[in-house]
Structure 1
Amino acid sequence: MSAFPKGWVTANLAEVCKLITDGTHHSPKNGPSGAYKYVTAKNIRPWGLDLSTITYVDAETHAQIFRRCPPAKGDVLYIKDGATTGIAIVNPLDEPFSMLSSVALLKPLTDVTSGEFLCKFLNSPDAFRQLTGDMTGSAIRRLTLTTINRQPIHLPPLPEQRRIAAKIDSLTGKSERARDHLDHIPRLVEKYKQAVLAAAFRGDLTREWRQKKHRDLVAVVPRNTESIAKKYLAKGVFAAPYVVPQTWQWLRLPDVGQLDRGRSRHRPRDDERLFGGAYPFIQTGEVRQANRFLASYSQTYSSFGLAQSRLWPIGTVCITIAANIAETAILAIAACFPDSVVGFLADDDKADASYVEFFMRTARENLEAFAPATAQKNINLDTLAAMRAPIPSVAEQQEIVRQIELAFRWIDRIVSEATSARRLIDRLDQAMLAKAFRGELVPQDPNDEPASALLERIKAERGATRETMRKRKVVAK
């Protein structure tokens, strides 16, 4: 709408406040204990006053600050300096406290407006854009008190202000409840995915598929002992942590593929001759950051670097054994990696790389349960060589991977939709505030006293007060 409703008036903040000031411009000595709370911008949050990091000043320091800046309950506290400039809250404290200059104090004229309405106006998108667009400073950007005083405000009658504030509170309360529900979804996602993986590696996910295909399934034949390094030969007695289908086997990774540590033999490891060539060099952090398939890297080996390492092919399962323990990813590029990463290269007729990578996610938190009692308790190459995985036929492994991917896509789609809904709620809140201060949120009441009448009365009272003070000065002379 082009014009504001009847009864509204445009004023500036100086006209609707009896005081606009800020806290001390000289950072006083403060600490975890003292006589009075000391509020700075870090204590002002969008949801209110955060006292978890509050510090204190002594009584003498407080007296000097409070004389110029005396906050009271119901006043508006407004961040005017720094990265979080533009956040306004209503002061909830019914006690005196001191403030730093990064926070402005606005004391509303209660006959004209309220702290609640003023706070909501300052947090509206239009007010935020208008005020922060006038920020100055190259290092720490700040609003001046002059700018705040001059800021226009479109003021409805006082009863309408109360209706607007109540409506905003009602709508934002619903928004907050919706946000709480949506915020739970990402936290539940990992639990949902773990439940899918648990069902997959117990055979539950493919029970019906297996019943239909049982005649066509070919059990995996483990590698013979001659093709497995002596240090990886089975040792100890293994007790299965759970029951799997009869057609499955508990096999070790060396039974179904090649397992070895990455190589980076040359010392010192930061020798410049090792780097800057054509061979990707993967490290533990990149394994952790990969979303299942690893294709990005920040370092490369030269031919000199490759000569003291090994180039692992696409499809290698990378398993970290240092820094980020048992994080996994599958190489989508041929790459080298150091001995803090173990590589597993599946035999095509025995294991599917994605199946092994998904299984490692389930075993990550409790590797001991999948290893014989004699295995070492810390994770290293021997631990990974000793642990056992439930291995069905290759065809069933591939079906399990397909069903896991299908379930994960469905779960991720829910997360994506929840994220979009969360952003939409934020936009709706901003749109609601914009409508409120255009006079479109609540109906007008023709019986309300116009805001212009209130302001004129306040101006007259202020003029009378100034005239009285002038006469007193004349008499005193």
Structure 2
Amino acid sequence: MTYSKGDATDSPTDNHMGVLRANNITQSGLSFSDLVYVPSGLVSELQRVRQNDIVIATSSGSISVVGKAARATSDFNVGFGAFCGLIRPSQEIEARFLGHFFGSSAYRTYVSSVARGVNINNLKREHFENIEIPLPPLPEQVRIADKLDALLARVEAGRERLERVPKLLKRFRQSVLSAAVSGELTREWRGGRDAEWRTARVGDTFVSFSGGTPSRNQSDYWGGDVGWLSSGDIKSTKIADSSESITQLGLQNSSAKIAKAGSIIVVVRSGILAHTLPVAVVERDLAINQDIKCFDSNNKNINLWLLIAWKANESKILGQNRDGTTVQSVKYDTLKNWVLSIPPQDEFNEAIRRIESLSAIADRIEAKYAAALSSFDRLTPALLAKAFRGELVPQDPNDEPASVLLERIRAAREAEGGKRGRGRPAKAAAGGSGDGAEVKRRGRPPGANAQAGAEGTEPKRRGRPPKVREAVSEPDAQPAAVAETAEASAAPRGRGRPPGPGIPQASSFEDALRKLEEQKLARAQGARQVGLFDDAE
């Protein structure tokens, strides 16, 4: 649906309805946060999201966004925007099975192959009509959907537990640093005696300064051999490189200053201060900008202890000493007035040794976390791929063959005549097949293009689930593709091709190979297409 900017509001009001956009389509389902709301009269009944509808992002500047899809788990009183489309599955298909297909790698690969544009990536109606979907018998669809629902729920639960690890590691690291600067980390080493440390005010012990930015209008100030740090470069506690560099001329003609190797730098103005205090030791001479303060005591050990103290007290500094709203800043006076407790040299050495030892443990856990997260990222695509190869659940030879399901959909279309969208001529209905009795199969579901033989029987075969092309319809007045299931009494028309030959029985392995080659040739000459989706009116 389309609407003007003046029609939209960001909060629900009387006689207004929410509108889904691409950002509301997530891997875990539809999200109803950050909706826009438009007058309900702008959203037709057809465009309201019903249970089992699949909402798809059909247009985006990002190829990773276009094609995103999510199934509605219940009726929702919302519509969908102009850059989204909707597929409404036939009642003859297990909607959960279909919904899982739209999360598979095969679907994403297809989208990438057809949706690329010059500036905007688009999915059109014909792209959905030409998608091939492996289709098992309906009972097997249900078994696959049940299995995927259970397995993917376990994957998601495992991922949620795994994603707690970074926060736990951060707390662990900070606890180690806190124990170090309080003396608890080395209490055993001291024999349980109280710490005999000296204290020093940072402003009295350290020289501190901020930097600046050379004029961007002077090209000869930039791209030189002097590394130049901005707040975005401070991503770890050791800094040796910068994303930009300046020339000696730029350094001399600006307020940028050099932080010497071994000195401490801290970000004092940045949005990142909402949750993190970036502090680092500089490993080589680097210039800094105005959002960074440098502190140097001319003693690398004391400098390092200051870094440890500030990281240990990160929450305290951020919680009590911030100014600003969007762009946060730490008060310079707070940092200069910080009182630093400094241990004797031998205890300092022991504290650093223990910090490094415990940090190494955290690093190993972090590496295992990264590997586990990568495995989780591969697990869902692997499960979906296995499901749509017909390998996830056992197959039941007593299941009604998929070809019978397809014929029932075709027959319903022909019997009812289908419902057509506004302004579109009706498409020819797909042709029928023989009406003899079918032979029950064993193995994987029959191919969608495999027809019963001349005697009207379907021979046994083994193989992967059939690939079935979707047929969706779109109201002419709407910019997004919409596929509508009519009520149980009304099924849509679909396009079809003449049925291909069935798979005859083989008397030997060599005979089977020959007959399969004949079948491939027959398919290449023209295989039927059967629509799974009813047309929208």
- Please report the TM-score for the alignment, with normalisation by the length of structure 1: 0.73
Cα separation, 1, equivalents of 2:289 and 2:4: 50
- Quick check: 133-142 or 79-88, which moved more? 79-88
Aligned length: 397
Aligned to 1:295: 241
Structure 2: which amino acid aligns with 1:359? A
Which residue, 63, 86, 89 being the options, matches 2:70?
Answer: 89
Aligned to 2:512: none
2:166 maps to 1:186: yes
Cα separation, 2, equivalents of 1:124 and 1:411: 35
Aligned to 2:457: none
User: Structure 1 271/96 Cα, relative in aligned 2: closer, same or farther at 3 Å?
Assistant: closer
Alpha-carbon shift at residue 26 of structure 1 (Å):
6.7
2:336 maps to 1:355: no
SS at structure 2 position matched to 1:447: coil
**Residues 79, 104 of structure 1: 8 Å contact kept:** yes
Aligned to 1:200: 180
SS at structure 2 position matched to 1:74: coil
**CA-to-partner distance for each residue in 1:253-297, whole Å, 9 max, x for gaps?**
467x54232567x9x9779599445444444554x3343334325
2:241 maps to 1:261: no
**CA-to-partner distance for each residue in 1:4-42, whole Å, 9 max, x for gaps?**
xxxxxxxxxxxxxxxxxxxx3676833333343323323
SS at structure 1 position matched to 2:398: coil
User: Structure 1 27/317 Cα, relative in aligned 2: closer, same or farther at 3 Å?
Assistant: same
Which residue, 371, 375, 378 being the options, matches 1:424?
Answer: 375
Aligned to 1:209: 189
Which residue, 318, 322, 326 being the options, matches 2:265?
Answer: 318
User: Structure 1 439/203 Cα, relative in aligned 2: closer, same or farther at 3 Å?
Assistant: same
Alpha-carbon shift at residue 434 of structure 1 (Å):
0.4
Aligned to 1:395: 346
Aligned to 2:483: none
Alpha-carbon shift at residue 197 of structure 1 (Å):
0.8
User: Structure 1 80/336 Cα, relative in aligned 2: closer, same or farther at 3 Å?
Assistant: closer
Alpha-carbon shift at residue 384 of structure 1 (Å):
4.3
Aligned to 1:237: none
User: Structure 1 424/273 Cα, relative in aligned 2: closer, same or farther at 3 Å?
Assistant: closer
Structure 1: which amino acid aligns with 2:90? L
SS at structure 2 position matched to 1:346: coil
Aligned to 1:239: none
Cα separation, 2, equivalents of 1:297 and 1:42: 31
Q: Which consecutive unaligned segments of at least 5 residues does structure 1 have? A: 1-23, 215-243, 370-377, 471-477
**Residues 48, 76 of structure 2: 8 Å contact kept:** no
Cα separation, 2, equivalents of 1:117 and 1:76: 11
Alpha-carbon shift at residue 397 of structure 1 (Å):
1.3
**CA-to-partner distance for each residue in 1:128-187, whole Å, 9 max, x for gaps?**
212331114222211111110121111111111111000001100110111111111112
Cα separation, 1, equivalents of 2:59 and 2:152: 26
Identity of aligned residues (%): 27
Alpha-carbon shift at residue 60 of structure 1 (Å):
3.2
- Quick check: 351-360 or 337-346, which moved more? 337-346
User: Structure 1 199/438 Cα, relative in aligned 2: closer, same or farther at 3 Å?
Assistant: same
Which residue, 332, 335, 341 being the options, matches 2:283?
Answer: 332
**CA-to-partner distance for each residue in 1:84-120, whole Å, 9 max, x for gaps?**
2222222234255433343322222222x12111111
- Please report the TM-score for the alignment, with normalisation by the length of structure 2: 0.65
- Quick check: 336-345 or 160-169, which moved more? 336-345
User: Structure 1 199/443 Cα, relative in aligned 2: closer, same or farther at 3 Å?
Assistant: same
Structure 2: which amino acid aligns with 1:208? E
Aligned to 1:251: 200
Question: After superposition, where does 1:406-421 map in structure 2 within 5 Å?
Answer: 406-421=357-372
Cα separation, 1, equivalents of 2:232 and 2:417: 69
SS at structure 2 position matched to 1:200: helix
User: Structure 1 271/261 Cα, relative in aligned 2: closer, same or farther at 3 Å?
Assistant: farther
**Residues 259, 385 of structure 1: 8 Å contact kept:** no
Cα separation, 1, equivalents of 2:382 and 2:262: 49
User: Structure 1 120/394 Cα, relative in aligned 2: closer, same or farther at 3 Å?
Assistant: same
User: Structure 1 346/403 Cα, relative in aligned 2: closer, same or farther at 3 Å?
Assistant: farther
Aligned to 1:234: none
Aligned to 2:42: 61
Aligned CA-pair RMSD: 3.5
User: Structure 1 316/110 Cα, relative in aligned 2: closer, same or farther at 3 Å?
Assistant: same
SS at structure 2 position matched to 1:130: helix
SS at structure 1 position matched to 2:246: strand
SS at structure 2 position matched to 1:89: strand
Cα separation, 1, equivalents of 2:48 and 2:240: 58
Which residue, 89, 104, 109 being the options, matches 1:129?
Answer: 109
Cα separation, 1, equivalents of 2:250 and 2:386: 66
User: Structure 1 363/122 Cα, relative in aligned 2: closer, same or farther at 3 Å?
Assistant: closer
**Residues 199, 339 of structure 2: 8 Å contact kept:** yes
**Residues 273, 305 of structure 1: 8 Å contact kept:** no
**Residues 50, 74 of structure 2: 8 Å contact kept:** yes
Aligned to 1:6: none
SS at structure 1 position matched to 2:286: coil
Cα separation, 1, equivalents of 2:120 and 2:145: 33
Alpha-carbon shift at residue 344 of structure 1 (Å):
1.3
Aligned to 1:36: 17
SS at structure 2 position matched to 1:153: strand
Alpha-carbon shift at residue 398 of structure 1 (Å):
2.4
Aligned to 1:374: none
Aligned to 2:387: 436
Aligned to 1:341: 293
SS at structure 2 position matched to 1:210: coil
**Residues 279, 302 of structure 1: 8 Å contact kept:** yes
SS at structure 2 position matched to 1:343: strand
Cα separation, 2, equivalents of 1:135 and 1:52: 27
Cα separation, 2, equivalents of 1:415 and 1:164: 35
User: Structure 1 345/295 Cα, relative in aligned 2: closer, same or farther at 3 Å?
Assistant: farther
User: Structure 1 278/441 Cα, relative in aligned 2: closer, same or farther at 3 Å?
Assistant: closer
Alpha-carbon shift at residue 399 of structure 1 (Å):
2.3
Cα separation, 1, equivalents of 2:37 and 2:259: 59
Structure 2: which amino acid aligns with 1:344? D
User: Structure 1 304/91 Cα, relative in aligned 2: closer, same or farther at 3 Å?
Assistant: closer
Cα separation, 1, equivalents of 2:357 and 2:368: 17
Cα separation, 2, equivalents of 1:314 and 1:147: 58
User: Structure 1 343/282 Cα, relative in aligned 2: closer, same or farther at 3 Å?
Assistant: farther
Question: After superposition, where does 1:138-157 map in structure 2 within 5 Å?
Answer: 138-157=118-137
SS at structure 2 position matched to 1:209: coil
